[in-house]
Amino acid sequence: MPPYLADYHTHTYISGDSHSTLLENITQAHRIGLSELCMSEHWNLLNQKGERLPTHYDFAPVLQQWEELKNTWAGRIDVRIGIELGNSTVDTDAVEKCLTLPELDFVIGSLHSTSLSLGGVGIFTYAKSCTDPTLAQRVLEDYIQQMEELAQAGTFDVLGHIIYPLRYFPAEFHLSLDPWQDRLDSILRQVIEGGKGMEFNTTQGSTIRAWIPLLTRYRALGGEIITLGSDAHRPACIGAGFDQAVELLQTLGYRWVCTYRQRTPQFHSIV
């Protein structure tokens, strides 16, 4: 039996950096045989310039998209409501009040921006114009510190794309998270002890092997809760890289991939 595959990190036009519709994403997910699709639109507390954004999220457009399609698609593919929450530690208390929506199944905790002490600018924006590896190291140090705060706050179900900054800094910097391994271990331990997980984010199928060090550590520390996400901003990227991702998880000793119902992990065998 093929493994139960679910894309738990997808965007539509509601995210602002995608033109996809939910219908296009569902159609593609169904076409490639996924059992589930989770909508995880952006809700960032900081924009790329470092300006603060609302600490309240209006789920109505998200719910409405699914409401309009539900009758046609229910029973053919399971669609879940999630959110990709960026830099929630800017105001953890306010954010938590907004996460009580009964329809909300899943929360990805991401860090797209530097901390306010570094100006809060988008890591993507910063990295693309960065010419000094020392400054890049400073951003990584700040990133790890923010992740420690996020792990402590626990305002998520899975930590989002932990290797995010490595996607964008110039390749010739040869950056890695290795210098922070001890602190990352502590973060992962906290995640595991708190019953939370991490996502294996394939970045539209382009990052698979880059996850090996982190997946190896997480498993060694007892981590089992993994969701798979393509981070698709285009329908064609839904489920991208999942075959290789599952193969890698199996090789590294993982037995399950997870989906979520009302913020609770559901385990699906991959062995």
Shorter beta-carbon distance to Zn ion: residue 36 or 84? 84
C-beta of 112: minimal distance to Zn ion in Å? 6
C-beta of 43: minimal distance to Zn ion in Å? 11
Judged by CB under 5 A, does residue 199 bind Zn ion?
no
Name residues contacting Zn ion, limited to 224-243 (CB under 5 A): 231
Torsions phi, psi for 193 (to 5 deg): -65, -30
Shorter beta-carbon distance to Zn ion: residue 163 or 221? 163
Of residues 112, 109, 10, 97, the one with CA closest to residue 62: 10
Name residues contacting Zn ion, limited to 94-113 (CB under 5 A): 110
Shorter beta-carbon distance to Zn ion: residue 105 or 231? 231
C-beta of 7: minimal distance to Zn ion in Å? 11
C-beta of 1: minimal distance to Zn ion in Å? 30
Shorter beta-carbon distance to Zn ion: residue 51 or 193? 51
C-beta of 3: minimal distance to Zn ion in Å? 23
Length of the chain: 271
Shorter beta-carbon distance to Zn ion: residue 19 or 70? 19
Residues interacting with Zn ion, by CB under 5 A?
A: 84, 110, 231
